[in-house]
Amino acid sequence: MTRMPTAVVTGSAGLIGSETVRALLRRGVRVLGFDNDMRRVFFGAEASTSATRNELLALPGYIHYDVDVRDLAAVEHAFAEHGSDVSLVVHTAAQPSHDWAARDPLLDFDVNAVATLKMLELTRRYCPHAAFVFTSTNKVYGDVPNRLPLAEQDTRWEIDPAHRFADGIDESMTIDQSLHSLFGAAKVAADVLVQEYGRYFGINTVVFRCGCLTGPAHSGAELHGFLAYLMKCVATGRPYTVFGYKGKQVRDNIHAADVIAAFLEFWDKPIAGGQVYNLGGGRASHCSMLEAIALCERIAGRSLRWSYSETNRIGDHVWYVSSVEKFRCHYPQWRLRYDLEALLRDIYDRNVDRWTAEQPVALS
């Protein structure tokens, strides 16, 4: 096989993984993709990534491995064969729901923490000069954001404008002594391991602590995929449940294309030392649950059938908006291309025909 620049992408058929694959192929990079559709196991057939996998298989330069990233021997085989050519590892494979993690903590930790350690070690053995990009989560901060001074407004909770995090939470927030959810605890372990391999072994590792990641390729499900699933429910008339905080909980949201652009900026000019960046839509792309419902209804021209549960999800944030100033300082060429409305319109426009074909639209 001809030697050529090569990247490894885990979770390659997922939202961020698949968009990473496509972006790298456009650059002329050969991509080794690892994905065995565990999303289907976690969230059911509707959340399957098999259709995306099939699309990727048709793309020149993509090599698919239908293996579980926990299977060290299977993954190592690919690294042993191609390791000398690998200059980038993007590790997006994960169990992404903090609700689901409580059902099977052992599996969650194995996928989120132990598999990350295996990927780091294979990178160290076979391609130590590669950049290693890890998608962490804002859940590593646990419920510390809920201690911020928040005031209730008509449609949202909002932080005191005089607070130092008023423009977004930065990387100085503690990750210690808080309620994380079991998912968050596993991601903390992985997050710290990625930092450690950067500092201890000198690998160019980077941790992106992400807010809500979304986009038109998102296989949204009730337990994961907030905006994509919400828009699907509005478009098809499916009922939706809002959990806790009066529906006024706030999140920032970032389009997959903007996430991948950040990955590529780091790959082009890696900064050593196990870098950590918060990554999200920030103040440019954030909303409360109630505000998201209203915007989705306006874009779709339909009303959502929704109900309210007083019980919030364990470890959930009342208000979380990312500060991306550290990343912008290090990579000033990076800019958000999608604000909240552009992001939601992209999800709707590129999915509405398929959604309504799969499920007849219910009467509003």
CATH no. for residue 349? 3.40.50.720
* Residue 315 phi, psi dihedral angles, 5° rounding: 80, 5
Nearest in space to 37 (alpha carbons), one of 24, 46, 25 = 46
Asked if residue 251 belongs to a domain, the reply is yes
Share of the chain above pLDDT 90, in %: 85
Q: How many angstroms separate the CA atoms of 219 and 149, rounded? A: 34
Kind of pairing between the strands at 157-159 and 150-152:
antiparallel
328 in a domain, yes or no?
yes
Q: At what angle do helices 182-200 and 115-126 cross, to 10 degrees?
A: 20
148 part of a folded domain: yes
Report yes or no on 362 lying in a domain. no
The pTM score is: 0.93
pLDDT at 99: 83
Whether 364 is covered by a domain: the verdict is no
Q: 87 lies in which domain range?
A: 6-357
The dihedral through the CA atoms of 332, 334, 335, 340 has a sign that is negative
Q: What angle is formed at CA 340 by the lines to CA 180 and CA 265, rounded to 5 degrees? A: 75
pLDDT of residue 47: 77
13 in any annotated domain? yes
Which pLDDT value is given to residue 226?
77
Q: Profile the chain (364 residues) by mean pLDDT over runs of 10 residues.
A: 83 95 98 93 84 95 96 96 95 90 94 98 98 97 97 98 98 96 96 98 98 84 76 95 96 97 98 97 96 98 96 88 98 96 96 84 52
Domain count, the chain: 1
Whether 1 maps to a domain, the answer reads: no
pLDDT of residue 1: 45
In a domain? residue 280: yes
Taking the C-alpha atoms of residue 139 and residue 205, their distance in angstroms, rounded to an integer, is: 20
Task: Give the model's pLDDT for residue 223.
Answer: 60
Distance from C-alpha of 138 to C-alpha of 133, rounded to nearest angstrom: 16
